[in-house]
Chain A
Amino acid sequence: MAEPAVNYDEVSTDVLVIGAGGAGMRGAIAAAQAGCRVQVVCKSLLGKAHTVMAEGGMAAALANVAKPDSWKTHFSDTMKGGKLLNNWRMAEIHAKEAPERVQELERWGAIFDRNAKGLIHQRSFGGHTYPRLAHIGDRTGLELIRSLQDKLVHSPGVDVHMEVTVTRLLVRDGRVCGALAYRRQDGGLVVYRAGAVLLASGGLGKIYRVTSNSWESTGDGTALAYHAGAILQDCEMVQFHPTGMIWPPGVRGLLVTEGVRGEGGLLRNSQGERFMEKYDPERMELSTRDVVARSINQEVLEGRGTPHGGAFLDISHKPADFIKSKLPSMWEQFHELADVDITKEPMEVAPTIHYAMSGVRVEPATGASNLAGLFAAGEVACGLHGANRLGGNSLSDLLVFGKRAGDAAAAFAQAGHKAVSWESGQLSEAIAYTLRPLTGEDGENPYQVHAELQDALTRHAPIIREEKGLRVGLGKVKELQERAARVAVASGGGRHFNPGWHASLDVQSMVDNAEALFVSAIERRESRGAHTRSDYPEPDEELGKVNFVVEKDGRELKLDAIAKEPIPDELMEVINSKWNTDYTRED
């Protein structure tokens, strides 16, 4: 097929980084430090990525507040939190390298709250044996983004292309060698030729109706990788954060940081009972997210929910000054949006979709996917968190694996893998796909398809799942996939900053992610971490030994089970160790 008669700009580079959240920026900095030319493309303006919404902190065994902490305890907590579905090698690397990455960020200008000795202070969080989260108030994600952003824009060899969205990866003989993208500002198309591509595009929360995720989290990265031939893993594993706002309706799903509980917040039902006593008497409010989310769900189901169907989260027993200094954005958020003064009254909270443990299957040490030249890091990659992510582990994940994947992508690009040309016809197909929603006259409304997709996920893949519902959901998603292929911008509007066009492409990524989720969720006939089945309420030892993976087979999605590499004995011992909890905190 001849190349199409559509104008596009062409950019050649050593490393193309897709996404400018924590992982993308850290990866870009690593690749630039290795001497590569780096192009970073991001869907939004620089510094707006979903990472800014992370609140509580980044987990790293610095042992500043709890002397007995070490990588071993962090590793053990991460594996137990993930119900051993994690890739143990990633969990080990993460626990060992997180402290170094946090210290490095500080040396790049990040500011953290301090303890009395002047060291980085660390707060307690669910599932972490020791206070472990380096933080600044309740806006640690913003601090991470701003620090990396300033480092990035002053790194030689890096160009940032803001408000540019990638719609297809381009491949030659199983090697990813480029990408097609559009610029929001003028609708122009850009073709990137790259020695290596680092995918760091975040998660997919927008497939659900009630979510803490921002507009961008539409599963683009997993969809791009899938269509290029990459393997996705653990697609059934999405995390419900136990505490999202529920009232008023306009803020439903908005995150209430786990830091509230970390700083001493208590959960109560409508009868005033601290119900976590029933579900996890040892860890109470600081149990893992899967457990707390299910507990709140259960209280509501049994008729002990709050007026708007959630639980009360109360920190008002702490001094007002303490609350305003430790949780400033929470105070502001409730004060401005819900007319609630959290220093005086409880918050009303309910579970909200928060994080995808699922993603591109990668080599643990390098973030390499099964496709040569394609690397992934951060939320779009899979493995570190297993069946349930611990709070605070995502920010350190971004730094640890962002750097490693950036290093590996740079090494790949420098190992003689010069930019090559994609297979003939690919670019024309990609361009046709990208521009099609602008030409459909009587197509589907993308916003309507999106709303119905969110409805299907919310109803049929909720906290507690069962086979019948999952099959109904899968049926709906297949129908929505067909409709998504016909979406069009009804009001026209051309290519110049046209959100209807952008939404038309986003929704096509989302339906493919949803299919992978339903297919995998049906197959995991057990309850493990975030994936809870009412028809299979217990974990199944055999299923704990496999990861479900999907890949594109012709035009169909194919599901497989891949046996997990067994955890070495010495690490199993670490996981099962008893930890010394008799120590004096150094706050």
Chain B
Amino acid sequence: MAVRSEVAEPVDDVPLHLREAEATGRSVTLKVWRGDPTGGELVSYEVPAQEGMVILDAVLWIQAHVDADLAVRWNCKAAKCGSCSAEINGFPRLMCKSRLDSFQGDITVTPMHTFPVIRDLVTDVSWNYEVNKQIPPFSPSEEDLKDPEPWRMQQEDVQRLTEFRKCIECFLCQDVCHVLRNHEQKDQYYGPRFMIRTATLEMHPKDSLDRRPMLKHKAGLGMCNITKCCYEVCPEHINITDNAIIPLKERVADEYFDPVRWAARKLTGDKRGRRPVRGMEDAPDQR
């Protein structure tokens, strides 16, 4: 393992990530994975620690003082944009929300495992954007669209959606999901993030589409076996499994495995009058 350590000249009154240690006087060893698609290694850096410092501060300190080209993706440093996802001591986390003082000993920072590395801590998450495009968007009924009056919805009907709408698309749930991570079945399962997305649409009081055929087939809802790892890593504490995936599984089961409904569907079509998503009714297909 390569070791690099350097302390720059002190600069008066500069931002945290450029400043020398204040108050704590101690330093922390960060082992950061550096490399590209052809391979890489952990590189050690000594970083002066400051009160309340988060992993992202430490990474930015390295950028400013030691290796300007250390690649990291970040935006808000406020846990609102979901850009700085990585694995800290092997656990998927946001770097901006992980305090140095919550770890003991050396800290290892590696890129998300499930997505291809671009460089250092930056991964190619474009697959997620492709999946999102395949989910039919919000589609109100013609009647609702034509209604000239402002829509009325009750707070209790939108309340359960607010939990799902907190999602910041950090893709940590996708990173940890064993279907995607260990079995590399990206062609068979959309992943927890997009179960949340679909649940929001399915449970929206004004949406008129029926995405159950999509869930059953193309989106691969059945691939999830409810280990709840996604919930554990969610920085927004969205109860992905209990509040989105299980209710979706129930809806799909009701539709496909209830013999009475099956017979009724054969005779009269969908009772709820919702429009099934075209092209998604068939047996599992390849994307």
A residues sitting closer than 8 Å to B (CB atoms) are 44-48, 50, 52-53, 62, 64, 103, 106-109, 111-114, 117-121, 136-137, 139, 142-143, 146, 150-151, 153-154, 162, 185, 209, 214-216, 247-252, 254-255, 328-329, 332-333, 336-338, 445-448, 451-452, 454-455, 458-459, 489-494, 496-501, 503
Check if A498 sits within 8 Å of B69, measured CB to CB: yes
Check if B140 sits within 8 Å of A491, measured CB to CB: no
Picked from B64, B120, B165, the residue with its CB within 8 Å of the CB of A146 is: B165
Q: A53-B76, A117-B152 are in contact. Are A492 and B83 (CB under 8 A)?
A: no
CA distance A247 to B132 in the complex (A): 38
Instruction: Note all chain A residues with C-beta closer than 8 A to B52.
Output: 247-251, 337-338
Most buried by B among A143, A146, A215: A215
Instruction: Note all chain A residues with C-beta closer than 8 A to B73.
Output: 44-45
Check if B165 sits within 8 Å of A451, measured CB to CB: no
**At the interface, yes or no: B75 with Cβ under 8 Å from chain A?**
yes
Interchain nearest-CB distance for B133 vs A (Å): 5
Check if B129 sits within 8 Å of A46, measured CB to CB: yes
CA distance A107 to B153 in the complex (A): 12
How many B residues touch A, CB cutoff 8 Å? 67
Instruction: Note all chain B residues with C-beta closer than 8 A to A491.
Output: 66-69
Check if A337 sits within 8 Å of B97, measured CB to CB: yes
14 contacts between A and B (CB under 8 A): A44-B73, A45-B73, A137-B162, A139-B165, A142-B80, A151-B137, A248-B52, A338-B52, A447-B18, A447-B63, A447-B65, A448-B64, A455-B12, A500-B69
Check if B153 sits within 8 Å of A114, measured CB to CB: yes
Check if B13 sits within 8 Å of A154, measured CB to CB: no
Check if B150 sits within 8 Å of A119, measured CB to CB: yes
Instruction: Note all chain A residues with C-beta closer than 8 A to B18.
Output: 447-448, 451
CA distance A117 to B154 in the complex (A): 8
Check if B83 sits within 8 Å of A493, measured CB to CB: no
**At the interface, yes or no: B275 with Cβ under 8 Å from chain A?**
no
CA distance A491 to B118 in the complex (A): 18
Q: A109-B204, A337-B97, A448-B11 are in contact. Are A499 and B72 (CB under 8 A)?
A: yes
Q: A108-B138, A249-B16, A499-B70 are in contact. Are A329 and B165 (CB under 8 A)?
A: no
Instruction: Note all chain B residues with C-beta closer than 8 A to A448.
Output: 11, 18, 64
**At the interface, yes or no: B82 with Cβ under 8 Å from chain A?**
yes
Picked from A46, A137, A333, A451, the residue with its CB within 8 Å of the CB of B14 is: A451
Interchain nearest-CB distance for A123 vs B (Å): 14
Interchain nearest-CB distance for B232 vs A (Å): 16
- Those 9 A-B pairs whose CB atoms lie nearest each other, nearest first: A248-B52, A493-B69, A500-B68, A109-B138, A118-B152, A447-B64, A451-B14, A214-B76, A250-B52
**At the interface, yes or no: B158 with Cβ under 8 Å from chain A?**
yes
Picked from A107, A109, A117, A139, the residue with its CB within 8 Å of the CB of B166 is: A139
Check if B15 sits within 8 Å of A209, measured CB to CB: yes
Most buried by A among B66, B153, B154: B153
Q: A47-B169, A107-B140, A136-B165 are in contact. Are A53 and B51 (CB under 8 A)?
A: no
**At the interface, yes or no: B186 with Cβ under 8 Å from chain A?**
no
CA distance A50 to B77 in the complex (A): 11
Q: Which residue of B lies closest to A139 (CB)?
A: B166
Q: A53-B81, A214-B81, A499-B68 are in contact. Are A142 and B125 (CB under 8 A)?
A: no
Check if A53 sits within 8 Å of B78, measured CB to CB: yes
Check if A118 sits within 8 Å of B153, measured CB to CB: yes
CA distance A489 to B63 in the complex (A): 11
Sample of 11 further A-B pairs with CB below 8 A, known A106-B151, A490-B68, A497-B119: A48-B76, A108-B138, A109-B137, A153-B132, A154-B137, A249-B22, A250-B52, A338-B52, A447-B68, A491-B66, A500-B63
B residues sitting closer than 8 Å to A (CB atoms) are 11-16, 18, 22, 36, 50-54, 57, 63-83, 97, 99, 118-120, 122, 124-126, 129, 132-133, 137-138, 140, 145, 150-155, 158, 161-162, 165-166, 168-169, 201, 204
Picked from A48, A153, A185, the residue with its CB within 8 Å of the CB of B81 is: A48
Interchain nearest-CB distance for B129 vs A (Å): 7
Check if A446 sits within 8 Å of B158, measured CB to CB: no
CA distance A69 to B56 in the complex (A): 45
Instruction: Note all chain A residues with C-beta closer than 8 A to B13.
Output: 209, 455, 458-459
Check if B80 sits within 8 Å of A114, measured CB to CB: no
Check if B162 sits within 8 Å of A52, measured CB to CB: no
Instruction: Note all chain A residues with C-beta closer than 8 A to B65.
Output: 447
CA distance A71 to B168 in the complex (A): 33
Interchain nearest-CB distance for B30 vs A (Å): 15
Picked from B22, B80, B125, B137, the residue with its CB within 8 Å of the CB of A53 is: B80
Q: Which residue of B lies closest to A459 (CB)?
A: B13
CA distance A454 to B82 in the complex (A): 25
Check if B51 sits within 8 Å of A249, measured CB to CB: yes
Q: A45-B83, A118-B154, A497-B122 are in contact. Are A454 and B14 (CB under 8 A)?
A: yes
Instruction: Note all chain A residues with C-beta closer than 8 A to B166.
Output: 139, 142, 328
CA distance A154 to B72 in the complex (A): 29
CA distance A442 to B140 in the complex (A): 60
Instruction: Note all chain A residues with C-beta closer than 8 A to B158.
Output: 111-114
Check if A111 sits within 8 Å of B145, measured CB to CB: no
CA distance A490 to B82 in the complex (A): 29
Picked from A136, A153, A249, A447, the residue with its CB within 8 Å of the CB of B133 is: A153
Instruction: Note all chain B residues with C-beta closer than 8 A to A250.
Output: 16, 50-54, 57
Interchain nearest-CB distance for A118 vs B (Å): 3
Q: Which residue of A lies closest to B14 (CB)?
A: A451
Instruction: Note all chain A residues with C-beta closer than 8 A to B22.
Output: 249
CA distance A251 to B57 in the complex (A): 10
Instruction: Note all chain B residues with C-beta closer than 8 A to A499.
Output: 63, 68-72
Instruction: Note all chain B residues with C-beta closer than 8 A to A252.
Output: 16
Q: A142-B80, A250-B16, A500-B69 are in contact. Are A103 and B150 (CB under 8 A)?
A: yes
Instruction: Note all chain A residues with C-beta closer than 8 A to B204.
Output: 109, 111
Most buried by B among A209, A338, A446: A209
CA distance A47 to B171 in the complex (A): 13
Instruction: Note all chain A residues with C-beta closer than 8 A to B155.
Output: 113-114, 118, 121
Most buried by B among A118, A215, A250: A250
Check if A48 sits within 8 Å of B137, measured CB to CB: no
Check if A50 sits within 8 Å of B119, measured CB to CB: no
Interchain nearest-CB distance for A213 vs B (Å): 9
Check if A111 sits within 8 Å of B75, measured CB to CB: no
Check if A255 sits within 8 Å of B78, measured CB to CB: yes
Check if A497 sits within 8 Å of B68, measured CB to CB: no
Check if B118 sits within 8 Å of A185, measured CB to CB: yes
Interchain nearest-CB distance for A536 vs B (Å): 27
Q: A48-B83, A150-B137 are in contact. Are A336 and B69 (CB under 8 A)?
A: no
Most buried by B among A48, A136, A332: A48
Picked from A107, A249, A329, A494, the residue with its CB within 8 Å of the CB of B151 is: A107
CA distance A50 to B129 in the complex (A): 19
Check if A215 sits within 8 Å of B80, measured CB to CB: no
CA distance A97 to B140 in the complex (A): 23
Check if A249 sits within 8 Å of B50, measured CB to CB: yes
Instruction: Note all chain A residues with C-beta closer than 8 A to B11.
Output: 448, 451-452
Most buried by B among A62, A117, A216, A336: A336
Picked from B36, B66, B126, B168, the residue with its CB within 8 Å of the CB of A496 is: B36
Check if B168 sits within 8 Å of A142, measured CB to CB: yes
Check if A50 sits within 8 Å of B76, measured CB to CB: yes
Check if A142 sits within 8 Å of B137, measured CB to CB: no
Q: Which residue of A lies closest to B147 (CB)?
A: A107
Q: Which residue of A lies closest to B11 (CB)?
A: A451
Check if A120 sits within 8 Å of B165, measured CB to CB: no
Instruction: Note all chain B residues with C-beta closer than 8 A to A248.
Output: 50-53
Interchain nearest-CB distance for A327 vs B (Å): 13
Interchain nearest-CB distance for B276 vs A (Å): 18
Q: Which residue of A lies closest to B236 (CB)?
A: A332
CA distance A214 to B80 in the complex (A): 10
Q: Which residue of B lies closest to A211 (CB)?
A: B15
CA distance A412 to B90 in the complex (A): 52
